Structures are given as structure tokens and as C-alpha cells.
């Protein structure tokens, strides 16, 4: 239903003064971390704030960049991943990475049952109990940490060289620091920092930035053109709103919460206005199947070919849902002056 609201707003805004291009939802508004010189924005910040923030995920150590065809960002204790084909942000499986090659170690071998009072996790064959279970339940559980993949055991911490009782989870490593105050006795290992030490991220992602726009311009669409119909415009990333799409008056907009990025799986959604002379998507009704579309992102130009042109009612929002394969979806309102329907141009990589 929220997508229907967005499509109505796209057309209604034609009659209003040009809005300011800024985030207007606190959950996704870009924030700058002076400690590391990195930013956090959009659905990554939404996930970060919802799943425990600084205490659980830690400071950002990189900006967003494409890794194995997926937008990711590294933090002290986690890797956040944007799964555009699912329309969700997930924490990466850094616990599995840190435990590679240890499946035969006694602590990582599946157990038949949990000790009395502990919880047995049948999915991985391990137990969850004591202060580690309390911490797991109180701080995001499965979505933040995943299932346990080991039993508790003693291990030397690579950061301070001290021995702690630890337990590995799919997305984290828990450490017991019994000398700390009770609220801080369970600490999370810096798996994000360890991963970056072993597998260096691109220098462009590790370099400090001045603002979120500078960082996200490395992956998001920044220009779209369709040579045959004379369409060429910059693409801007506007506000992150939970219930609507903030669309600037004279440009196309990249919709972060459900969009993919060029070169990655998922649905890349661009919307633009029509109605005034020279308005950016006025030419879009002239597009035909087979036309070539070029989308710039991260210093590269990605080529797509139009696969279908649809005219839909406002309630028909299925074209905005995530897609398994890379898909470009362009949206505007038709007919000009009436705006009762939506023109949908869909294209595939070529």
C-alpha cells in the first residue's frame, strides 16, 4: 500500500514547489562518525539502529562498496549486506568465516543434546545457555547473531592477547569478560576488523569521506540516458522515507529502500516527473521495446535493453517489488495533464 501512496505523490508533486532533496526519516538519515571518518545511511542505518547500534555492531570501518556483486559495509563487529533481490539488509556470516577450517575442532563438532538448563539448537547441533543465551535473547537474537556454530570454549583474543571463554555464532563471536561490570561481561569479537585485515577492501571504500552522498555515489545510479528518444538526466538519491518516495521535481530519483544497484541482482527503480516543457521523463512515453538505456554508476556505464513497456493503474505496484535477476524499472505518470496511470519501462542487462 505504501508504494501506491508513493506513486500518487510522484504525480501530485508536479503541482508543488520544488522540494528540498534531503532525508526526512530519522531511521535512514545519513550520519557521520568522526571517530573513523565514515558514514551510515538509508536501510543500513535502519538495520544498525534496530539491531543494537554501536554496542552490537560497532563503528563503521568502510563505506558501502560492491563485494561479490552485493553492496556491503564493514563495521568493527559485523558486515552489513544489502540483498536487493529480497529487499532487506542482513548481517553477513562473519562467524562462519572466522570458523573456517575448524569443523573438526571439539568445540565445533555437533553435540547430541544440550546440558541441563541450556537450549539445544537443532539447526546447527549446538547449545545456547548462561550469559551467552541471555545476551543473544536481549540483543537481536537470530537476525543479529545467527545460530550458534560452536560450544563455549577458551580462546585467545587476537586484539588483546588475553584468554576468554568464547562461543561462535553464524554472524558473531561472543566473549565472556567476567571482570567487567555485569552489563558488559559479554563482548562481541571484532570480526569485521579481522576480516578487513585478512581481505583488504578497496582503498576508495576505506578512505574517510565528507558526507554520505560522496560515499553512496560510488555504487548508486548517477545518470540515465536513452539516446534514441533524447533522454539524458542526472539521477539523485533523495530522502529515505518509510511510507513515501521523496521525488525531486526536475530529476529522476533512485529509490534506496527497495532498489538494487547497477551490476547487482535485484530491481533498480528510477522515477521521474512529466508535465512541464522539458521535464525529465516527458520523452519516456516514446520508448519502445528494443531501445538501449545507459545507466552510469561508480564511474562505469551499464547497458540495458528495453524488454517491455506497460501502462498500469496506481494500485498495480508489483513492478516495484524485488526481482531475482538484475532489472531496470523506470516509472512516470501518464497521460500528461491527467496522470491517472503509470508508464512502466522495464529493461534487462545487455
Q: Does residue 57 sit in the same domain as residue 118?
A: yes
Q: Which residues contact 47 (CB under 8 A, 6 or more apart)?
A: 80, 89, 91
**The predicted structure's pLDDT at residue 26:** 57
Q: What's the pLDDT at 215?
A: 80
Residue 206 has a pLDDT of 93
The verdict on 56 and 166 lying in the same domain is yes
Q: What are phi and psi of 69, to 5 degrees?
A: 75, 20
pLDDT attached to residue 237? 74
Q: Where among 155, 171, 206 does a domain terminate?
A: 206
In this prediction, residue 2 carries a pLDDT of: 39
Indicate whether this model's pTM tops 0.85.
Answer: no
Same-domain check for residues 100 and 184: yes
How many domains does the chain divide into? 2
- Considering the domain architecture, whether residues 14 and 84 belong to the same structural domain is answered as no
Say if residue 222 is in the same domain as residue 285: yes
Q: What per-residue confidence (pLDDT) applies to 21?
A: 31
**pLDDT attached to residue 280:** 79
Q: Are residues 134 and 228 in the same domain?
A: no
Q: What is the pLDDT at residue 235?
A: 86
- The parts of the chain modelled with pLDDT lower than 50 are 1-24, 242-243
Secondary structure class of 271 (helix, strand, coil): strand
Using an 8 Å Cβ cutoff, are 148 and 123 in contact?
A: no
Amino acid at each position: 500500500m505504501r508504494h501506491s501512496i508513493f506513486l500518487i505523490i510522484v504525480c501530485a508533486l508536479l503541482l508543488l514547489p520544488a522540494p528540498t532533496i534531503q532525508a526526512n526519516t530519522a531511521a535512514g538519515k545519513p550520519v557521520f562518525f568522526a571517530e573513523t571518518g565514515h558514514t551510515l545511511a538509508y536501510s543500513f542505518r535502519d538495520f544498525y539502529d534496530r539491531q543494537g547500534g554501536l554496542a552490537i555492531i560497532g563503528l563503521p570501518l568502510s563505506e558501502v562498496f560492491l563485494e561479490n556483486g552485493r553492496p556491503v559495509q564493514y563495521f568493527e563487529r559485523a558486515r552489513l549486506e544489502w540483498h536487493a533481490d529480497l529487499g532487506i539488509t542482513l548481517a553477513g556470516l562473519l562467524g562462519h568465516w572466522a570458523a573456517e577450517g575448524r569443523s573438526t575442532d571439539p568445540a565445533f563438532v555437533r553435540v547430541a543434546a544440550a546440558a541441563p538448563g541450556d537450549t539445544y539448537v537443532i539447526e546447527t547441533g549446538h547449545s545456547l545457555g548462561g550469559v551467552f543465551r541471555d545476551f543473544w535473547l536481549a540483543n537481536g537474537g537470530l537476525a543479529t547473531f545467527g545460530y550458534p556454530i560452536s560450544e563455549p570454549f577458551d580462546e585467545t583474543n587476537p586484539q588483546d592477547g588475553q584468554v576468554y571463554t568464547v562461543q561462535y555464532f553464524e554472524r558473531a563471536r561472543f566473549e565472556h569478560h567476567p571482570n567487567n561490570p555485569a552489563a558488559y561481561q559479554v563482548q562481541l569479537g571484532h570480526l569485521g576488523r579481522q576480516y578487513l585485515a585478512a581481505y583488504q577492501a578497496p582503498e576508495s571504500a576505506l578512505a574517510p569521506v565528507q558526507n554520505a552522498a560522496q560515499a553512496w555515489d560510488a555504487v548508486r545510479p548517477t545518470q540515465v540516458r536513452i539516446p534514441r528518444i533524447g533522454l539524458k538526466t542526472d539521477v539523485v538519491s533523495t530522502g529515505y522515507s518509510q511510507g513515501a518516495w521523496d521525488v525531486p521535481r526536475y530529476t529522476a530519483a533512485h529509490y534506496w529502500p527497495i532498489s538494487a544497484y547497477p551490476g547487482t541482482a535485484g530491481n533498480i527503480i528510477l522515477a521521474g516527473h512529466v508535465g512541464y516543457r522539458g521535464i525529465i521523463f516527458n520523452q519516456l512515453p516514446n520508448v519502445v521495446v528494443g531501445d538501449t538505456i545507459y545507466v552510469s554508476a561508480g564511474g562505469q556505464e551499464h547497458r540495458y535493453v528495453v524488454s517491455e513497456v506497460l501502462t498500469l493503474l496506481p494500485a498495480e505496484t508489483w513492478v516495484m517489488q524485488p526481482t531475482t535477476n538484475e532489472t531496470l524499472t523506470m516509472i512516470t505518470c501518464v497521460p500528461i495533464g491527467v496522470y491517472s496511470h503509470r508508464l512502466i519501462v522495464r529493461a534487462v542487462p545487455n
